[in-house]
Every structure is written in structure tokens, then in C-alpha cells.
Amino acid sequence: MRRSVAVVDDNKLTRLLVSDALRDLGYEPIPYASAAEAIAGIELEPPCACIVDHGMPAVSGSEFIRTLRRSSDKRLRSIPVIGLSGGFARELLAAGATTCLKKPFSQVGLSQALESALSGEPSGREASRGGNHASDASAAGAPHGAGASARARRAARVVVDFEMEIRSRCGVERTRTVDLSAGGFAVRMREELRADETIEFSFPGRELAGKARVVQSARVEPGLWRIGFEFKDMMPAQQKRAELLIIEAVLGHARDGR
């Protein structure tokens, strides 16, 4: 049975992105749109961990954590909590967060934060983003050479939200990225695509277009699939543009302070 992780964030897109990343890591996400909703659900069925954003209306992430830590229910008091800091790591840790993770984060960063939180030893610090750039794949322990590309892409993925256009045998579909790396991307689509199928893609207004092949497809709800793609026959200039988009996403989140 998959271990459940509560995802507490008022932003629907963030809940979807974090939930997708958790499924890839083998966890069962339980999304909540508010702290009050999360408390009610967690009391009925405590998860193995919580991921909570600080900047929520009515009850902030820090207040949510303090509520858990002051609970008369030992199960709730002991739940490991990962705070999505966006500049509020000090407040979240002071409230009782087990560790914090900076936005934007990679799947490797999320995995490391969960492993740290579930180890039972509070770190008392903010975790690194864990692979925001393609070069971090090596630092994360991804091997080099043939057969290692899938693991390298996984290590370098960054959770981002960019508009995309996909052209496939099913027609043209406008969608948005779930994540992006120097090796490929993932999106949500209304049509299921076959493994190894080649499509054409473009990022409107961002000077990045080309071909990609399907490497993963999974239904996330009726009529909606999460599909992972690997860039195919990318020219050096386009490869560089993909890496610049990742940097743009990182800097954009830093400016937003979330």
C-alpha cells in the first residue's frame, strides 16, 4: 500500500503539481485546499507526512503546523511536516516544521525532503532545491552514459507552469507543463498517447519548439492523462533555450517570493 502524504495549499495548480510529483515517487497524495479542510481530514486519517505552503489565506501554513503540534492527539503531533518556504523558512521551522523546501523545487529535492522528514530527525533548516538545473543530475548521483538518460531527466526536473502546444495524431492540444528539464517535460492532456509516439511541441512566445517522444503515460482522472516526453533530435540552440527556461522559472519564483 502506498504511503499517503497530505498536500495543503490554496493554489490548485500547486496542489496538482506536487501531487503528480508524489505519485511519481510512490506516494499517495491527499490534496487539501485550506488548513481547516486539512485539519478535518487529517484527524480522521493521519497521513505519513504533510506538505504545506506558508502563504494561505485565513490560516497560514505556520498556524496550521502550530495547530498540529499542540493537538491532544499524539498521532497529529508527530506527523512530519515539510514547509514550502518561499522565503518563510524561519517562520515555518519556528512553528514546528520538520524541514522546509524552497520553491521552485525538483523531484529530487522533494524526495530528499520527504526522506529527511520521515527519518524522524527534524533538520531544523531549509533543504536545498535539489536539482534545479540539469548539471545537478550528477550531484544527485545520477549515472552517466547510455541507459542513464531517464534517471538524469528525473533528477533535473523542475516543477514549472508554462503554456504549451502539442501536435499529435490526435490533433492540436493547448496545455500547460507539469515539469520541465533539459531532457524533456511532462504535461496533462485530454488524449492518451502511445509509448514512443513522436509529437511536435512549441512553447508559445518562448522561442522553443521541436519534436519529442512519449516516455510515460498515466491516467490521473477520467479523461485526463499525465504524459512525460523526452526531447528528440534537439539542436544545440534549442537545448540551450530549454535550460534557459528552467533558469527563468527559478528566477521568476525568486522574484515572486513564493
- For the chain, which residues make up each domain, given as ranges? 3-127, 158-256
**Side chain identity at residue 13, one-letter code:** L
If pLDDT is split at 50, 70 and 90, which confidence band does 125 have? Answer: low
Global pTM value = 0.57
Mean residue pLDDT across the chain: 80
CB atoms within 10 A of CB 258: 17
What CATH fold (topology level) applies to the domain 158-256? Thrombin, subunit H (2.40.10)
Distance separating alpha carbons of residues 152 and 196, to the nearest angstrom: 18
Which H or E element spans position 180?
Answer: strand 171-180
State the average pLDDT over residues 135-160.
41
Q: Which CATH number fits domain 3-127: 3.40.50.2000, 3.40.50.970, 3.40.50.880, 3.40.50.2300?
A: 3.40.50.2300
pLDDT value at 168 more than 50: yes
Distance separating alpha carbons of residues 202 and 235, to the nearest angstrom: 14
Take residue 16 and report the three cell numbers written for it. 496538482
DSSP per-residue letters across 203-257: ETTTTEEEEEEEEEEEEEETTEEEEEEEEES--HHHHHHHHHHHHHHHHHHHHHT
pLDDT value at 88 more than 90: no
If pLDDT is split at 50, 70 and 90, which confidence band does 242 have? Answer: confident
Share of the chain above pLDDT 70, in %: 80
